[in-house]
Amino acid sequence: MSERKTISTGRNLPVAIAVGLVLGALVLVTLLTVKVSFLALVALLVGVALWELSHAVSTKQIRIPVVPIAVGGAVMLALAYWRGPQAAVAALAVTFIAILAWRLPGGADGYLRDVMAGAFALIYLPTMAIFVAFMLTQPDGPHRALLFVILAVCSDVGGYFSGIMVGRHPMAPTISPKKTWEGLAGSAVACLAGGAIGLTLLLHGRIWQGLILGAGAVTAATLGDLVESMIKRDLETKDMSTILPGHGGVLDRLDSLLIVAPVSWLLMTIFLAGGH
């Protein structure tokens, strides 16, 4: 029975569920105890994802300046939480300058390629993550961050199970052959329900606002999945790593979360200005 599940879903489902539950427990414990510990968890996961991305692109002779991005990214997250957006943007600019300088001793061959790869990694990973810090600075920050995670999970889980049960029509076969329109419909239903219920219960918003939030989240999550699939196809790899049994790499789990974060922050800021 377990073998049949592994073949039909493309992963060891019991192991994947167990790892998912552990990750979910970490999110809940950190958010519901000391909220800065959730930010530390985000920083750790982004750091691992950066290492995975650097290792993956090295197969194409691309060298990402990991050290300045890791250090600068951690500083960006800290400043976003304790000093606000202006300090975080300044840290982003300084980190990019550090990337330019760090790569200089490596010579002219491939300099622009590596710097551009570093700039991509800087925006794709820590810059997306600072919006989690912005959420946490609000009085109801843990609830905002929890809802953002719930929406990303709704997209993944809704799309995964509807895709394997009724998926028939490929959505983007040249990018991600396993993604189907039926899977997207499942993601949309789950996110709309999660947004409507979550925003009203956790943040006392209105149902229509939750529906818009859910629609924004499923759009962003789907884009995040497709973008990472395109990156992996370009790099000719199936998973970014095997660090998470049943899931692949950390970046394979963060791909939708990274893109959902700024969209969720923006919509929650519009709908919930001033916090609760």
pLDDT band at 152 (very low <50, low <70, confident <90, very high): very high
Report residue 249: phi and psi, to 5°.
-100, 175
CB contact at 8 A, 136 and 38: yes
pLDDT in tens, 206-251: 999 999 999 999 999 999 999 998 998 899 888 787 787 766 788 9
**How much is the mean pLDDT over the chain?**
90
Task: List the domain boundaries for the chain.
Answer: 34-134, 138-276
Q: For residue 171, what is the enclosing H or E element?
A: strand 170-172
CB contact at 8 A, 178 and 232: no
pLDDT in tens, 54-63: 999 999 999 9
pLDDT in tens, 244-272: 776 678 898 888 999 999 999 999 999 99
Residues near 22 by Cβ (< 8 Å), separated by ≥ 6? none
CA distance 118 to 34: 32
pLDDT band at 17 (very low <50, low <70, confident <90, very high): confident
